[in-house]
Amino acid sequence: MLGAYDKQTFLSACLLFDVIAECGLTGHTYADDTQVYISTPATDHIDAVDRLAACIERIRDWLADNHLKLNEEKTLIIWLVHVSS
């Protein structure tokens, strides 16, 4: 059974995933870390970066509206490329 704090944390995570989904992206959470993913062909990389940046801004604003804070010092973007042989 979840305690009151756990219920609030769970509800906040669910609402945060709604924000991520509204951006058309995918998210994953483990403990207090949230990862946001986008998969796109290499030719669409500029659009992908713009969409990811816009989503991060929406997440930051949503967190602020809910008296939480995005730790921008720990926010990173990792770019992975699949090279076909």
pTM: 0.79
pLDDT digits (tens, 9 = 90+) for 36-73: 989 888 888 899 999 999 999 999 999 898 888 888 89
- Per residue, the 3-state secondary structure of 18-83, as one string, reads HHHHHCCCEEEEECCEEEEECCCCHHHHHHHHHHHHHHHHHHHHHHHHCCCCCCHHHCCCCCCCCC
Q: What is the average pLDDT score of the chain?
A: 83
| pLDDT of 7 | 62
pLDDT band at 75 (very low <50, low <70, confident <90, very high): confident
pLDDT for residue 1: 46
pLDDT of residue 51: 94
